[in-house]
Structure 1
Amino acid sequence: MPELPEVEALREFLDAHAVGRILERAQPTAVNVLKTYDPPLTALEGGMVTAVERHGKFLDLTVGDLHLVVHLARAGWLRWQDALPEAPPRPGKGPLALRVRLSADGGGPAPGFDLTEAGTQKRLAVYCVTDPAEVPGIARLGPDPLAADFTRETLAGLLEGERRQIKGFLRDQSVLAGIGNAYSDEILHAARMSPFKPAARLDAEDTDRLYAAIQDTLREAVERSRGVAAGQLKKEKKTGLRVHGRTGEPCPVCGDTIREVSFSDSSLQYCPTCQTGGKLLADRRMSRLLK
């Protein structure tokens, strides 16, 4: 799933390639991708792209007086093309969900981008709204961890009274905007903290360590992604991860074997030596610690 660093990189890419162009056509090819109907998607046509913003994991293109908002979900992606095919896209069972055609330079080929989604669970979402706050997922977002006003005190305030484990706390978009499964694993590894540690048990030192890990992990990932072509961002993300998706590999810090905990629809990875005092966390399907 694209998370804050990748979506920020896509925002910067579109800011450089789409702003100042006219949106000529927005053509959905999957019936379930469009989540709003008034104003219609056709209302975007003829409007100039004047800004591209990010709200958590949402991309927001300002087009005239409207906003084209995109959430890529788990398996969605944005694929830029300097020259889109002349023939309109045809609805079908392929990965293409939406094509956006932009104005060309000097009569050349029209550039634009495709929104695609792999797999059978189609969750990619597109909204055409007058205000991004009309999108329910944006309206409920918590603070952005890379915003200038997100301080150590902000994090401490969010942790007060929190009853969940710290992994779930970090992934909750209504608490912190933009952190998902992969970067929560990376942050907790950097903070040397068990994913199952109750958030309420974090003391001042833990909070300091977690805040530093959030800032360092996300900023380093954004910096690695900066300037990378949209089509290469997935590969770059995988290359930069230390523990997530690396079950069975040695920890880059201590050399211990990276372990996994599986859930019904996801998994997490961690290093026992760095994060749990050497204890192996049981697969949640067993609901106990392995002895």
Structure 2
Amino acid sequence: MPELPEVTALAAYLDERLKGATIEQARFPAIHALKTADPPYTSLVGRRVESVGRRGKFVVLNTSPGGDADEPKDDDEARIFVVVHLSLAGWMRISDQLPEPTPVRGKGYVAARFGFVRDDEVTGIDLTEAGTWKRLAIFIVRRLEDVPAIADLGPEPLEPEFTLERFRGLLNRRQQIKGLLRDQKTIAGIGNAYSDEILHAAKISPFAIASTLDDEETSRLYTSLRTTLEDAVGDALGHAPDELKDEKRRTMRVHRRTGEPCPVCGDTIREVTFSDSALQYCPTCQTGGKILADRTTSKFLK
């Protein structure tokens, strides 16, 4: 699943390419991917893209009425947002031509198709999804808060307001730190991959209980969180969408590196598997050399 760094880079790429463009096409071959009904998706045609940004793991297109519309261009009430959550296996396929009315066979599952025109520049975007679980979601709303998951999002971890004191206040609960970092209602944008990377950099066990971390561990974790995400955003920015997944894999130090040597100490990176995901960690760096039992209810092996 793309997380804060990749979604930031994807939004920046789209903003550079689409800002000021007119939406010429909006089609939904898989209408179940569209999670809202008002405004209708047909109302997007003719609108102007004001900006493309990010909130949590969501890509947000901010649109205003087109040049021929009677509505004022700078009126917040005239805004319509297209909000995309790529989920586990979703992505964007971008081309230099408007999409055909129906997806080409053999190109995979296509949830939605958009066409944009800016001056003489044409951009086609297919929202695609691999696998059998269809979780990619698109919302067309007048306010971002009309998307329930956005309304419930926690703070953005790279904003100036996300201070050490604010972070410390979020840890006051008896929850494994790995799960807390991934909880979007607690902190926006961090998923399975970067929580592994953050905890490894902070030398903290993924099974540590958040409320038991002392001041030094909390400070170390906060610094690792900010540094890991800032570095990842820096690595991702400037890459085209079709390069971002490979760039993410390249920069991972422990995530999906099971069996490889830890880049810090040389110990073998271990894995704990769950029903629908897995985490990776270094025993020497994070658990005092102890191996975490590979079952969902485990603590340390005796």
Which TM-score band (shorter chain)?
A: over 0.9
Q: Which moved more, 1:277-286 or 1:13-22?
A: 277-286
Query: Counterpart of 1:84 in structure 2: which amino acid?
Result: L
Which string of whole-angstrom CA distances, capped at 9 and with x for unpartnered residues, describes residues 142-201 of structure 1? 0000111111111011112x1101001100000000000000000000000000000010
| Displacement after TM superposition at 1:219 (Å) | 0.3
Change (3 A) 1:91 1:31: farther
**Offset of residue 29 of structure 1:** 1.1
For 1:222, the equivalent position in structure 2 comes to 233
- Which segment drifts farther, 219-228 or 280-289? 280-289
Q: Distance in 2 between matches of 1:257 and 1:199?
A: 25
1:206 aligned residue (214, 217, 239): 217
Q: Distance in 2 between matches of 1:254 and 1:173?
A: 31
Q: Which residue of 2 aligns with 1:97?
A: 111
Indicate conservation of the 8 Å contact 2:112/2:127, yes or no: yes
- Alpha carbons 2:18, 2:118 under 8 Å: kept: no
Of 249, 266, 273, 2:260 maps to 249
2:25 aligned partner? 25
Matched, 1:124 2:136: yes
In structure 2, distance between residues paired with 1:284 and 1:166: 17
| 2:46 alignment partner in structure 1 | 46
Select 2:162's aligned residue among 146, 150, 156. Answer: 150
**Alignment-derived partner of residue 84 in structure 1:** 98
Shift of 1:89: 2.1
Give the C-alpha shift of residue 31 in structure 1. 2.5
**CA–CA distance in structure 2, aligned partners of residues 282 and 120 of structure 1:** 30
2:281 is equivalent to residue 270 of structure 1: yes
Q: d(CA) in 1 for partners of 2:284 and 2:2?
A: 28
- Residues in 2 aligned to 1:276 and 1:23: alpha-carbon distance in whole angstroms: 52
- Paired residues of 1:170 and 1:184 also in contact (CA < 8 A): yes
2:20–2:118 contact (8 Å) kept in structure 1: no
Measured after TM superposition, the shift of residue 278 of structure 1 is 0.3
Alignment check: 8 A CA contact 1:40 1:128 kept: yes
Structure 2 CA distance for aligned equivalents of residues 231 and 90 of structure 1: 19
Aligned residues of 2:292 and 2:298 also touching (Cα < 8 A): no
Q: Which residue of 2 aligns with 1:236?
A: 247
> TM-score scaled to structure 2, two decimals?
0.92
What is the deviation of 1:104?
4.7
Cα distance in 2, alignment partners of residues 90 and 207 from structure 1: 49
The whole-number CA distance in structure 1 between the counterparts of 2:32 and 2:258 is: 35
- In 1, Cα distance between the equivalents of 2:63 and 2:243? 26
One-letter amino acid of the counterpart of residue 73, structure 1 = S
In angstroms, what is the RMSD of aligned CA positions?
A: 1.5
Aligned AA (2:141):
V
| Counterpart for residue 166 of structure 1 | 177
**Separation in 2 of the partners of 1:84 and 1:125?**
22
Structure 1 distance, partners of 2:135, 2:289, is: 38
Output the TM-score relative to the length of structure 1. Answer: 0.95
Aligned-pair CA distance for 1:290: 2.9
Distance 1:167 1:242 in 2: 16
Letter in 1 for 2:156: D
> Hey, what's the Cα distance between the residues in 2 that align with 1:263 and 1:26?
38
Give 1:136's aligned amino acid. P
Report the Cα offset of residue 63 of structure 1. Answer: 1.3
Note if 1:115 corresponds to 2:127.
yes
Please give the secondary structure, in 1, of the residue aligned with 2:31: coil
1:195 paired residue among 186, 198, 206: 206
Take 1:92 and 1:187, find their aligned partners in 2: how far apart are those partners? Answer: 41
The structural deviation recorded for 1:288 is 4.7
Matched position secondary structure for 1:111 = strand
Distance 2:103 2:194 in 1: 36
Structure 1 counterpart of 2:86: 72
Partner of 2:71: none
For residue 95 of structure 1, report the CA deviation from its aligned partner. 1.8
Distance 2:256 2:114 in 1: 32
Letter in 2 for 1:69: V
User: CA contact under 8 A between 1:34 and 1:125: conserved in structure 2?
Assistant: yes
* Cα separation, partners in 2 of 1:141 and 1:220, compared to 1, 3 Å: same
1:241, distance to aligned residue in structure 2 (A): 0.4
